[in-house]
Amino acid sequence: MSNEATPPLSRLVRELAPSGIRKFFDVAASMQDVISLGVGEPDFVTPWAIREAAINSLKSGHTNYTSTYGDLRLRTAIAKHLDAMYGVRYDPKEEVLVTIGVSEGMDVAMRVLLDPGDEVIVPEPCYVSYKPCVALAGGVPVGVETLASDQFRISVEQIDAAWTPRTKAILLGYPSNPTGATMPREALQEIVDYAVRKNLYLISDEIYDRLTYDGQHTCVAALPGAWERTITLNGFSKAYAMTGWRIGYACAPEPILSAMNKVHNYSILCAPITGQMAALEALKVGESSVVDMVGQYNQRRRLIVEGLNRLGLDCHMPQGAFYAFPSIARTGLTAEEFAERLLFDEKVAVVPGTAFGRGGEKHIRCSYATSLEKIEIALQRMERFIKKLPASAQAA
Amino acid sequence: MSQAEPDEILTILARDARTPHETIATLTGRSLDSIKAAIADYEKRGVIKSYKTIIDWEKAGVEKVFAFIDVKALPARDVGFDAVAEQLYRYPEVHSVWLISGGSDLRIVVEASDLREVGRFVAEKLSTIEGVTGTDTHFLLRKYKEDQILFVDAAEDPRLVVAP
């Protein structure tokens, strides 16, 4: 190494805070016998028929690039699926893009929509990458805090209060990671109407759509007025337990989607073909597995929420995804203190709510993508942990 | 789907018969009283036949021999294979009796303490039953999975401890 200092890295990247989850992970990963409620992915393995299809595609020698948009059979199946589920129509030839998970779709969407200084309204607490994706695209994320008392839903009034002439888009992510919140159809329609009035784009991350327990999921693009200004992001990770395959998709009107394909083409070319073949099979044969997994998540949801409330950790009933987001306010600890001490004292990993932005203070995220047995043990350990806290910190 | 979804209570008990009624109430979001009433009704109507344990006898150090025997039989007038099946299920060493499609008519599972005992059962009891025209015996060598339960060690959770 030369003694001379190399030039500084990009200011944007230097100023970007590392993920709050990352720091916590390093500690938890070094410990033994940890029961983790900290995992943001299904505990199920991808259904065997889907894995087998991927193996067979390799045996058949499918190891090449696909179209940058993705394999046309997969895009066609995605378009059919969205039409059947939500009655929303996309032309598979030029309005569907297969991405490396929703993560890439989000990144590309922001890069396509934003000029430097453009603002994006982001309801918080939210998934860790939303605001960084806006910032990395040169935009300015404008967080809007949502509250447990509102079931972590966002209203048009809150959005309007955050609006400025630089506002270009609203980012919606429902069902929500980390709160499990969903949005009623009427409330989403109000937001769509607002976006039409103010001429804003909507980016809707619907990766947890199938994991909706109470009522029906509303696809934003299916709402009157939404289609021409909405980028729909979704994928296979959660519904089909396919996180590691990294297959997602973006759907939008042709002018937006062809711009996204341009960026996608230059940055990653195309999603891996083996994952695409697996995803195609998932849409063909995966439905019964989805129904079975959702049924199991629903049971776990009730078990964990009932248990957390019993411990005095007030928790609204999440209506989607696989996270409970209880308040730890009564313990008098900060979210980081709670998570750290729970990990060291009782070896239960949860994620402090602060990792998900404003509104996450005094909350922890508990993933219930784990077995009933493990949830019960984790609740017992948490009970022991809370009982050891000073009496003033315990539930009455 | 043309068939109704099974009651969640049944799928929970099929997975773990020891699940307390209180937990079933929590898991299903139903009242404790309605759970108790539904289970009592299932028991009364024989929908729930029994509560059993799945034991790995080999691990418990108990020698047991299991044989799957495919039986060919002549159906009797009016009762079909029922008469033969009844003759079979009366034997305590016969665990299961199923009417099946394919090359044979009935498949039974026989439990014994050693191979000779199975041999004796086939030669002296099974073959002498009226209507039985042939048998084909398969011995169980190793269990991998039974009633959804793996008999081999499952892989550990490969996920990262904390992930976004």
Of B27, B157, B160, the CB nearest to A302: B27
Sheet with A364-367: strands ordered across: A323-324, A364-367, A351-352
A-chain residues within 8 Å CB-CB of B11? 295
Tell me, yes or no, whether A190 lies in a domain: yes
Share above pLDDT 70 across residues of chain A, in percent, rounded to a whole number: 97
pLDDT digits (tens, 9 = 90+) for A375-388: 999 999 999 999 99
pTM of the predicted model as reported, rounded to 2 decimal places: 0.92
A263 and A311 share one domain? no
Section B110-135 average pLDDT? 95
Query: What's the confidence (pLDDT) of residue B3?
Result: 59
Residue A395, in any domain of the structure: no
| Same domain (yes/no): A244, A158 | yes
Judge if A199 and A279 occupy the same domain.
yes
Which residues of A are less than 8 Å from B12 in CB distance? 299
Q: How confident is the model at residue B161 (pLDDT cuts 50, 70, 90)?
A: confident
Q: Provide mean pLDDT across the span A198-215.
A: 97
Minimal Cβ distance to A39: which of B26, B29, B162: B162
Q: Pick from B142, B163, B164: which is nearest to B66 by CA?
A: B142
Residue A151 token pair: 């079931």
Number of other CB atoms surrounding residue A13 within 10 Å: 11
Q: How far apart are CA A18 and CA A393, in angstroms?
A: 31
Chain B nearest CA to A386, separation (Å)? 22
Interface test mutation site (partner B, options A372, A373, A376, max chain B beta carbons within 10 A): A372
Distance set, CA A45 to CA A82, A370, B142 (Å): 24, 12, 25
Per-residue confidence (pLDDT) for residue A3, from 0 to 100: 62
Show which of A233, A265, A285 is a domain's final residue. Answer: A285
Q: Judge whether A349 and A38 are in contact, CB under 8 Å.
A: yes
**What is the average per-residue pLDDT within B40-57?**
95
Same structural domain for residues A191 and A324?
no
- Give the integer Cα–Cα distance in Å for A132 and A141: 8
Indicate the range of B78-87, B100-109, B131-140, B149-158 predicted with least confidence. B149-158
A40 contact residues in B (CB cutoff 8 A)? 163-164
Residues A52 and A158 in one domain: yes
Same domain flag for A226 and A138? yes
Chain B nearest-CA distance from A193, in A, is 32
- B19-26, long-range: CB < 8 A, 24+ apart: B23/A303, B26/A302, B26/A303, B26/A306
Per-residue pLDDT tens for A155-206? 999 999 999 999 999 999 999 999 999 999 999 999 999 999 999 999 999 9
In a domain, A105, yes or no: yes
- Closest residue of chain B to A129, computed from CA coordinates: B164
The pLDDT value recorded for residue A396 is 45
Contacts of B29 in chain A (CB under 8 A): 302
Could you give the count of Cα atoms lying within 13 Å of B44 in the half-sphere of its Cβ?
6
Of chain A, the percentage scoring pLDDT greater than 90 comes to 93
Instruction: Inform me whether the pLDDT recorded for A391 exceeds 70.
Output: no
Q: Residue A109 belongs to what domain range?
A: 48-285
User: What CA–CA distances, in Å, run from A78 to A46, A71, A91, A291?
Assistant: 18, 11, 10, 18
- Spatial contact of A217 and A182, defined as CB atoms under 8 Å apart: yes
Average pLDDT value for chain A: 95
Average pLDDT of A124-139?
97
Helix (H) or strand (E) holding A97: strand A96-99
What pLDDT does A25 receive? 76
Output the pLDDT for position A121.
98
Do A167 and A235 belong together in one domain? yes
**What pLDDT is stored for residue B2 in this prediction?**
44
Asked if residue A208 and residue A87 are part of one domain, the reply reads: yes
Q: Is B164's CB within 8 Å of A129's CB?
A: yes
Cβ distance A28 to B162 less than 8 Å, yes or no, reads yes
Domains and CATH numbers, chain B: 8-45 (no CATH), 58-142 (3.30.70.920)
**Domain match, A22 and A57 both:** no
pLDDT computed for residue A19 by the predictor = 79
Residue A309 vs residues A325, A328, A354, A363, B14: alpha-carbon distances, Å: 11, 11, 21, 13, 28
Tell me, yes or no, whether A26 lies in a domain.
Answer: yes
CA of A214 vs chain B CAs: smallest distance (Å): 12
Residue type present at position B93: E
Spatial distance between the Cα atoms of A336 and A330, rounded to a whole number of angstroms: 14
Contact present, A206 and A172 (Cβ < 8 Å): no
Judge whether A3 lies within some domain: no
- pLDDT of B6 above 90: no
Task: Phi first, then psi: give them for residue A394, nearest 5 degrees.
Answer: -90, 160
Say yes or no: A23 and A137 in one domain.
Answer: no
- pLDDT tens by residue, A79-103: 999 999 999 999 999 999 999 999 9
Which chain A residues are closer than 8 Å to B161 by Cβ? 25, 28-29, 31, 34, 36, 38-39, 349
Six-digit token pair at A190? 């109000």
A interface with B, Cβ–Cβ below 8 Å? 19, 21, 24-25, 28-29, 31, 34, 36, 38-41, 43, 127-129, 177, 295, 299, 302-303, 306, 349, 351, 372
Across the interface, whether the CB atoms of B27 and A19 are under 8 A apart is answered: no
Last residue of a domain, one of A257, A285, A313: A285
Query: Which is it for strands B132-139 and B65-73: parallel, antiparallel or unpaired?
Result: antiparallel
Q: Work out the pLDDT band at A4, boundaries 50, 70, 90.
A: confident
Number of domains in chain A: 2
pLDDT at B1: 40
Q: How far is B134 from chain A (nearest CA, A)?
A: 37
Spatial distance between the Cα atoms of A350 and A309, rounded to a whole number of angstroms: 16
Nearest to A261 by CA among A89, A110, A96, A88: A96
pLDDT one-digit tens code per residue, A313-338: 999 999 999 999 999 999 999 999 99
Q: Do A299 and B162 touch (CB under 8 A)?
A: no
**What are the chain B neighbours of A43 within 8 Å (beta carbons)?**
157, 159
Q: Which of A285, A302, A336 is the last residue of a domain?
A: A285
The enclosing domain of A342 has a CATH number of 3.90.1150.10
A272/A339 same-domain check:
no
The per-residue pLDDT for range A158-167, each reduced to its tens digit, is: 999 999 999 9
Is A24's CB within 8 Å of B27's CB? Answer: no
CB contact under 8 A, A127 and B163: no
Tell me what pLDDT residue A320 has.
Answer: 97
Q: What is the pLDDT of residues A46-79, one digit of tens each?
A: 999 999 999 999 999 999 999 999 999 999 999 9
- CB-closest option in A21, A295, A306 to B162: A21
Give the distance from residue B77's alpha carbon to the nearest chain A alpha carbon, in angstroms: 42
Q: What residues contact A356, with CB distance under 8 A and at least 6 apart?
A: A20, A124, A125, A126, A127, A128, A177, A178, A365
Q: Which residues pair with A36 in a beta bridge?
A: A349
Tell me whether residue A5 is in a domain.
Answer: no
Chain B hits for A306, Cβ within 8 Å: 26
A274-309 pLDDT, tens digit each: 999 999 999 999 999 999 999 999 999 999 999 999
User: How far is residue B161's CA from residue B157's CA, in Å, rounded to a whole number?
Assistant: 9
CA dist B76 and B78 (Å) reads 6
Mind giving me the DSSP string for chain B? --SPPPPHHHHHHHH-TT--HHHHHHHHT--HHHHHHHHHHHHHHTSS--------TTTTT---EEEEEEEEEPPBTTTBTHHHHHHHHTSTTEEEEEE-SSSSSEEEEEEESSHHHHHHIIIIIGGGSTTEEEEEEEE----SEETTEESSPPPP--S-SB--
Residue A219: how many CA atoms within 13 Å on its side-chain side? 21
Residue A394 pLDDT more than 60?
Answer: no
Domain membership flag for residue A1: no
| Inter-residue contact A353 to A337 (CB < 8 Å) | no
Determine the residue among A26, A35, A39 to mutate to test chain B binding: the one whose Cβ has the most chain B Cβ atoms within 10 Å.
A39
pLDDT number for residue A22:
72
- Supply the CATH number for residue A94's domain: 3.40.640.10
Q: For residue A218, is it within any domain?
A: yes
pLDDT attached to residue A392 = 55
Among A24, A34, A299, select the one facing B27 at the smallest CB separation: A299
Q: What is the pLDDT of residue A390?
A: 83
On whether the CB atoms of residues A167 and A194 are closer than 8 A, the answer is no
A347 and A301 part of one domain: yes
> What is the C-alpha to C-alpha distance for residues A108 and A267, in angstroms, rounded to an integer?
9
Here the ipTM equals 0.82
